[in-house]
Each structure stands twice: as C-alpha cells, then as structure tokens.
Structure 1
Amino acid sequence: MTALPPITVSTLDRERLYALLEKHPGDQEVVDHLYDELDRARFLEPEAMPDDVVRLNSRARFLHEDSGKTYELVLSMPAEASAGDDRLSILSPVGAALLGLSVGATIEWPSKGKTLHLRLTGVAQA
C-alpha cells in the first residue's frame, strides 16, 4: 500500500463522526479505519475548509480505478444515505476513503481483503 494522502476534516464533521462511531455496531473494519483517518487528519473550522475537500454533504466525483467507472455521490451520514440513489454512507468503505480528500488525490483503501483504488476528480459543496 502506498502512503496515504493528507486529509482535512472540519471540526463539525469530527464531532459528528466521533459520536457516530462510538455507538455504531456495524462493519468494524470501516469503523476502525475511520478512527485511524480521524487520528491522522488535519482539522479546520467549517468556515476555513477549502472548497475542494470532501466533507459530509459534499457531492464527490471520483474514479474507481479498479473498474474504470466514474461516480458522483453525496457523502452522507448513514441515516441520510437512504434519501436517494445519489447518496453514499460515510460508513461504507468508499465513503470512509473519500472523507477529507482534496481534488486530484488518490487513495488505496483496504476493504474485505481487497484494496480499493480511488481518485477524487471533483467536489461540490452543498
């Protein structure tokens, strides 16, 4: 696995995610990786966040390099992920991998014994 790209997370998302992770009984692999991501993240106040960084409620456009497919999805809390086909839960492997990435960044993300290869190609803020 290559070096992880730098990530930036808003202090608001940090608080929401820690609260979620403390009570989430789901996929322990994703939960553990999200904790690791939060441990290495740079944190900024919401108003100081760059526009090209994925955060909760951002619309992220990314290339799944393994399949060659491009997706455009809104990163959401699990309860909001069922609100539409264009939603992606933060507790999914891809959702967790995208958090805090800047446009142009690539990441290799372990998931169920495989590695996802993702490239962030665009971000729009809600």
Structure 2
Amino acid sequence: MSSKPTITVSAVDMDRIEALIEKMSRMTPELETLESELDRATIVEPANMPADVVSMNSTVRFKFSGDSKVFEKTLVYPQDATSEHQISIFAPVGSALLGLSVGQSLEWPMPNGQSRTVEILEVVYQPERAGEYQR
C-alpha cells in the first residue's frame, strides 16, 4: 500500500470500537487491519474532533478512485447497520472511512482480495460538530 494519511479518532469511538473487537469470537483479517489503523490513529477528546473528520455516526460522501459514482453513507456500529444508507465500522469500506478527513484518500483491502482507494468528498454530518459528544 502507498503511504497512509494521518487519521483522527475520538477517545469515545476508540473505546467503543476496541470493546467490540474484544468481544469478537475470532479475529478476521479485516478486523486485524482495522486494529492496525486504530493503533496509528491520533486520539482526541470528542470536543476537540476536527469538523471535517469522519467519526462514528458521521454521514460521509465518498467515492472510489477511478470511479465517478458517489456514495453517501452513515458510519455506524455493527448492531446499528439496519439500512442501505448505513455502513458498519466492521465492513471493509467502513473501516477505511473512520478517521479520514475531507480530501484524504486511503487504499484499503477488499473482500475479493483486491484493494481500492477510498476518497473522502464531504462530511455531511458529524456528531461532534453538532455538539453531540456521547453517542
């Protein structure tokens, strides 16, 4: 993979994601990749989260490099992924979105054994930006 952009994760999101990973019965390669990303994240208090960063429960517009189709999804915890407009943090694309800011891109492994580069176009809604720090 190419050099990775810096990522920022709130302390609340980090605690909740790590707790979910610990409860998993086995570690999949996808979860191991997510853990590696979390290990390199800059952790901030929710009130200090930059407004253009994808955090949990953020609605984000993104696309894959080389593709013109734009997606708009809300990044959620696995138990909250109940509609096609939501994407779980444990889905490969969901893991790639967390912590990126507008304008950043990240190459990420996909289930088919290939990788794709996700580009962040806009953070439409971010709980921290809206003053919602405990979700």
TM-score by length of 1: 0.93
% identical aligned pairs: 42
Q: Provide the rounded CA distance (Å) in 2 between the counterparts of 1:26 and 1:61.
A: 31
Match in the other structure for 1:4: 4
**1:74/1:26 CA distance change after superposition, 3 Å:** farther
**Structure 1 counterpart of 2:33, one-letter code:** H
Q: Provide the rounded CA distance (Å) in 1 between the counterparts of 2:110 and 2:22.
A: 21
Match in the other structure for 2:94: 95
Q: Provide the rounded CA distance (Å) in 2 between the counterparts of 1:92 and 1:66.
A: 21
What RMSD, in angstroms, separates the aligned Cα atoms of the two structures? Answer: 1.4
Match in the other structure for 1:125: 126
Match in the other structure for 2:73: 73
- Contact 1:66–1:116 (CA<8 Å) still a contact in 2? no
Paired positions, count: 125
Segments of 5+ residues of structure 1 without an aligned counterpart are none
**Structure 2 counterpart of 1:89, one-letter code:** S
**1:22/1:90 CA distance change after superposition, 3 Å:** same
Match in the other structure for 2:47: 47
**Structure 2 counterpart of 1:23, one-letter code:** K
Q: Provide the rounded CA distance (Å) in 2 between the counterparts of 1:89 and 1:66.
A: 24
